[in-house]
Amino acid sequence: MGIYTGYFDESGEEKISESFVLGGIVLDADCVKDFDNEWGAIVETLPRKDGELYFHTTDFIGGYDVYKNEWKGRFEQKLTVLSQMTALLTKFGFQIFSAALDMNDYALLDSYIKFGEVAGHPYAMACRIGDMQLRLWAERNGCHAVRMVVENRPGKMGEVVKLFEKDLLLPPVPEQKSAPALQAADLIAWMRFRKRHPNYLYRTVKDCWRNIPKYLETDQIFGFNDFVRIARNIISEKAGELIPARSDPNYQVRFKSEPRQDRVQFKRKAKK
């Protein structure tokens, strides 16, 4: 039985977007180098950033940053490049994951109870969902635990580690976005985010996803009822101890690993 690694990245702004999406792919650890080489050969044809190979889905499709001159527009060429990339996802990927959090529903439940403090802010919660997807995939396929890798996001990894440790789990391994498999996860997350919220740019390149067979995809959407279910599971695990109401100023949420540290509320930005 092989050793597998799951690479995950996100799309959407958790404080302002209607959805926040985590995308990921499972690779055989023995084949990661081959994947990196073939992905790098595609990225080699694109403009570099600060002398280094560079791919970021939003910048590439939108024609931003290093792509704003040579690659502005050119949607047929972009579709060709993205189709080559999705073909690699099919060639090397054992499973492709996505999990979309409906941020309006998250905020609604969080306005009633201190959901974010207990269950985790959106990025940390999405990582826990990604870990759950990996565990279920490994169980179905008779695999050992699958290592989870995410982008090293300053200001976010601290809470991710705390949430995983609270649940007695090994936290994800942070790596830089220069890792080709994380760039692939970024592409997956962008495509799934834009499928939920399509725009002109998505419609010009969406056909690249035809390379992905349906059996490879695990695509989940988390809305209000799903968040309520998560809250109920937490209450059950805590022997019926209720999650405090948002209106209760006297009860501060703390993790056992940090008994002196009050958990803070996740706050969405007001719409202009």
Q: How many domains does the chain have?
A: 1
- The model's confidence at residue 272, banded by pLDDT at 50, 70 and 90, is low
pLDDT score of 143? 87
| Span 160-189, average pLDDT | 94
Which CATH number fits the domain that encloses residue 137?
A: 3.30.420
Domain that holds residue 197: 4-100+121-222
- The model's confidence at residue 27, banded by pLDDT at 50, 70 and 90, is very high
Residue at 217 is within a domain: yes
pLDDT score of 133? 94
Sheet containing strand 4-11, edge to edge, reads 173-175, 147-151, 4-11, 19-28, 95-102, 217-222
Residue at 108 is within a domain: no
Residue at 258 is within a domain: no
pLDDT score of 260? 77
- The model's confidence at residue 197, banded by pLDDT at 50, 70 and 90, is very high
Closest Cα to residue 64, out of 80, 85, 78, 79?
Answer: 78
Higher pLDDT, 58 or 253: 58
| Span 162-166, average pLDDT | 90
Residues pairing with 26 in the sheet: 6, 95
Residue at 267 is within a domain: no
Residue at 264 is within a domain: no
Closest Cα to residue 10, out of 115, 121, 109, 87?
Answer: 121
Residue at 80 is within a domain: yes
* Residues 62, 78: Cα–Cα separation, whole Å: 10
Residue at 214 is within a domain: yes
pLDDT score of 91? 97
- The model's confidence at residue 89, banded by pLDDT at 50, 70 and 90, is very high
Would you call 265 exposed, middle or buried from its count of C-beta atoms within 10 A (0-12, 13-18, 19+)?
middle
Q: What is the pLDDT of residues 47-57, one digit of tens each?
A: 999 888 899 99
Residue at 256 is within a domain: no
